[in-house]
Amino acid sequence: MESVAVLENGGAVPAKDPGLFTSHCVHLEAGPSQFTVRALKMQGSTLLIVNPKESEVFEELAVAMPSRNSASSEAMSSTILGGHGQTDSSVLAAKLSKRYSRQFYVSLNLKLDRLVGPLFEKSLVTYMHDHLEHFA
């Protein structure tokens, strides 16, 4: 009985059952910085863990989900672990949840400044768009 389809380093093993978990890992570049993105796609939600390429930690975790109110296009988000108030993880989770209309758990363990932050987000969104089957 196959319970998990594993996608590692860009390779893919197609899931035969849509209820299965799939995982994916990729290294992305944003300017001079390199990042490791790990994704766990589940039925109805996605977990993203983002770290600098050279070290992996789990410092904060946030969740966001699309609003059930059809009149509202905003996603609701909350920080679960680490940080206080609106964290980088909760902001990214809300953006992804709104864009893909699904629940996102995000652990963004980067120190992003005004220059690298937009480059990282563009790199991540472009990669996700091109490889949507790993994320949504």
pLDDT, tens digit (0-9, with 9 covering 90-100), for 80-118: 988 777 899 999 999 999 999 999 999 999 988 888 889
CATH number at residue 50: 3.30.230.90
Q: Tell me which of 68 and 102 has the higher pLDDT.
A: 102
CA distance linking residue 126 with residue 2, whole number of Å: 31
Exposed (0-12), middle (13-18) or buried (19+): which is 21, by Cβ within 10 Å? middle
pLDDT of residue 4: 42
29-54: pLDDT as tens digits: 988 889 999 999 999 999 999 999 98
Q: Tell me which of 71 and 100 has the higher pLDDT.
A: 100
pLDDT of residue 90: 93
pLDDT of residue 27: 95
pLDDT of residue 2: 38
Range of the domain at 70: 4-134
Q: How many domains does the chain have?
A: 1
7-20: pLDDT as tens digits: 445 555 554 555 58
